[in-house]
Amino acid sequence: MNQKLVGVILAAGHGTRIKPLNLFLPKPLLPVCNKPIMQYQLEAMREIGVTDAKIVVGHLKDDITRYFGDGSWLGVNITYVEQKEMLGIAHAVAQLESSIDSPFVLFLGDIFSVQKNLPGMADMFWTRKAGAVLAVKYEPNPEFIRRNFAVILHASGTVTRVIEKPRYLTNNLKGCGVYMFDLAIFDAIRRTPRTAQRDEYEITNSIQILIDDGYPVYPIETIEWDMNVTFAHDLLECNRKQLEHLGLNSVIGESVRMPAGTLVERSAIGNNVVIRHPIAVRDSLILADVVFEGTEDLDHMLVTPEMSVKCDSRSEGGPS
């Protein structure tokens, strides 16, 4: 058997709830410790042998294609497919049917995750001849399950139901936005109805059709930590968690200029940043190319070239 997986990343969405940040950067390009979310995903794919990746683009697509190009600098051959209407994840995947002829691993471009066993996920997919394998984790926070989808298991360990953005929870097993699919998923997508809830074609409904057709779908815990980046404070939380994962106090990019006496703690500062005055930067994120003229300390702040956003995690964290 040719055990080749194609990589797929969905990067077309508008990310309206993180507005106004989405006006300047597509969510997959938002940086975590100075590296775009989507770059982590491509690197994770490369580690399981993916050499060809399809990126579904839409909103601010030129920014994505300009940054990643053909992918050669990452060791992955990237081609781009445009989703012209935002009609859901299943609709985005459907755009790829004519260009994919082997099973594929799918990442959602606005979910940052710390991987712990992606090779094990690929092994499960091939050895069990799965219709799909879903990355899952036990999630103590019900709100995070409601942002994603719930996974219901049979006593045998196979998946029997998937519920998109559930209102009522029967367990705490959450889908994490990483999937491996056999080509049969395209048959299921063609039979997926548009939902009344969000007027979209949901991939969870396609997975349910796959299950009902008799294809085995398995869960696997491959995710140590993940965050669906929905609000500005989510991005700060991703940076905090990644710093912790890397064992670092801070990350400072190239060609950063800041005066003596500047204190940087638990923060990430992008390339070419200029800080004019000696301030303290704590639990904050400063994107590339910012020139910060302020004299007050930054605490739980997201600073872009266009604006500064207070991101207190106890609130909605600024613009939504």
Q: How does pLDDT run across 227-244, given as a tens digit for each residue?
A: 988 888 899 999 999 999
CA 77, CA 93: separation in Å to the nearest integer?
18
User: Residue 148: its pLDDT value, please?
Assistant: 85
User: Residue 317: its pLDDT value, please?
Assistant: 34
CA 96, CA 99: separation in Å to the nearest integer?
5
User: Residue 87: its pLDDT value, please?
Assistant: 84
User: Residue 1: its pLDDT value, please?
Assistant: 45
With a CB cutoff of 8 Å and minimum separation 6, the contacts of 129 are 216
User: Residue 74: its pLDDT value, please?
Assistant: 95
What CATH architecture is 6-228? Alpha-Beta Complex (3.90)
**Domain map (residue ranges) of the chain:** 6-228, 232-310
User: Residue 307: its pLDDT value, please?
Assistant: 83
Residue type, 123: D
User: Residue 58: its pLDDT value, please?
Assistant: 87
3-state secondary structure labels for all residues of 140-164: CCHHHHHHCEEEEECCCCCEEEEEE
Query: Any idea which residue has 């012209």 for tokens?
Result: 84
pLDDT, averaged per 10 consecutive residues of the chain (320 residues), comes to 86 66 76 96 95 93 95 96 86 93 95 92 96 95 88 93 89 93 96 78 94 96 90 90 95 96 96 96 95 94 88 45
